[in-house]
A and B are shown apart, each in its own frame.
Chain A
Amino acid sequence: MKDQNTESRSSWPLWEIFIRSKQGLDHKHVGSLHAVDAAMAIENARDVYTRRMEGISIWVVESKYVHASNPDEAASFYDPANDKIYRHPTFYQLPDELTHM
């Protein structure tokens, strides 16, 4: 119990940082950092991740709110998609005018 207290006093929570590099693109995960609250997380992200003109917008999410899939379940989660080739839209002829597909 005592250890937990010192732990929470000495370390700031972790935040996941998402940066939009330019208008029209989506926010991409770029990394994580420590901050005491959301306002400081945004400022820290500005200082750590946009020093070289990487972005025009920042999202921050406290890491504890990110729920992840379990790697142990990877076999049942992902492998079944492996042989379902008909799920890929690769059987269509695309007109030449269509780009970015």
Chain B
Amino acid sequence: MEQQTLIDYTLHLADNALVLGHRNSEWTGHGPILEQDIALSNIALDLIGQARNFYQYAARLSNEGEGVAAVSGAEALGAGVMGLGEAAGAGSGRGAAAGSAGVAGVTEDTLAYLRDAWDYRNCLLVEQDNGDWAKTILRLFFFSAYQYYFYQSLQQSRDRELAAIAEKSYKEVTYHLRWSSEWVIRLGDGTEESHRRMKEALDQLWKFTDELFVAADYEKALAEKGIAADLTAIRPQWEERVEAVFQQARLKRPVSAWGQTGGKQGRHTEHLGYLLAEMQFLQRAYPGCEW
């Protein structure tokens, strides 16, 4: 059971990174200008890299004790769809431990491509649609500021694997935060139109920021053991950073105290289903397909 808590937590971190990475990658080829297109695509790749590290760790944890030999992603994907869906359903916990893994096992690919929306544990913020450039920028800024302090804290984790991933990711996120902060300031303190768009983005996204700091059961349990980052300590740091950037950007934090939650438990907004449908299409339609 303890192992399952750690798997849940690792998947939560992986899903956060994958979903935001995928969202950002939707801009590839559509950026407002070539240089920014490349910048956002770089950030998307950083995030997907982080997701891979977490998924690989989650897969290893899932397979431990199951006596599963390492399998290739394609094999597992094929097997996963052909009646062994529960092996890939590691997100729901029981699936991974249920033992169907004897044939295929869990891999980073089955975790990313064969779980459904209710198995995903990402925060609601990262799955919100791209909207315009302002909304994409603000979503990235909110989440990068969160990840910046989060990875700082996770580097002290008693789980050495998580600490190592956090250390590597921290450098990447430092740049994401710098890049998105500058854009928030440029747009907020820019023209009348850019300021209006930032305010609209703020209205749409603010209610999803609360969830970042509302710990799910698996986060609470692991924080007590010194494995998970302590979200209550991160919150004031995040608020301070957001406030500082907002001041430069001439933006005001909304006063609304209400926040939408549920993503960490698998209760998502309508956006995630569409995202997964597109992202998972190929492996669902052609199981085990490689190219």
Contacts and interface: CB of A to CB of B under 8 A. Distances in A.
Do A and B actually bind?
yes
Given A12-B33, A34-B33, A43 B38 contact: no
B168 to A, nearest CB: 15
A-B CB proximity, top 10 nearest: A44-B35, A47-B39, A47-B38, A33-B35, A47-B42, A48-B38, A48-B35, A34-B35, A43-B179, A34-B33
Contacts of A38: none
Interface string B10-38: 00000000000000000000000111101
Nearest to A45: B35
Q: How large is the interface on A (under 10, 10 to 19, 20 to 34, 35 or more residues)?
A: 10 to 19
A51 B35 contact: no
A55 to B, nearest CB: 15
Contacts of A36: 186
Given A48-B38, A51-B42, A43 B182 contact: yes
A39 B38 contact: no
Interface of B is mostly: helix
B78 to A, nearest CB: 34
Contacts of A46: 175
Determine which residue in A12, A33, A36, A47 has the highest number of CB atoms from chain B within 10 A of its CB, and name it: A47
A40 B38 contact: no
A61 interface: no
A35 B38 CA distance: 13
Interface of A: 12, 33-36, 39-40, 43-44, 46-48, 51
Nearest to B40: A47
A35 B42 CA distance: 17
A45 to B, nearest CB: 9
Contacts of B182: 39-40, 43
Interface string B39-73: 10010000000000000000000000000000000
A39 B178 CA distance: 11
Contacts of B175: 46
A18 B178 CA distance: 22
Contacts of B35: 33-35, 44, 47-48
Nearest to A36: B186
A46 B179 CA distance: 11
A48 B41 CA distance: 11
Contacts of A39: 182
Contacts of B178: 43
Contacts of A47: 35, 38-39, 42
A101 B186 CA distance: 49
Nearest to B39: A47
A60 to B, nearest CB: 12
Contacts of A51: 38, 42
A76 B197 CA distance: 56
Given A44-B36, A44-B38, 17 more contacts: A33-B35, A34-B33, A34-B34, A34-B35, A35-B35, A36-B186, A39-B182, A40-B182, A43-B39, A43-B178, A43-B179, A43-B182, A44-B39, A46-B175, A47-B35, A47-B39, A51-B38
B211 to A, nearest CB: 30
A51 to B, nearest CB: 7
Contacts of A34: 33-35
A46 B35 CA distance: 10
Contacts of A12: 33
A40 B190 CA distance: 15
A40 B33 CA distance: 13
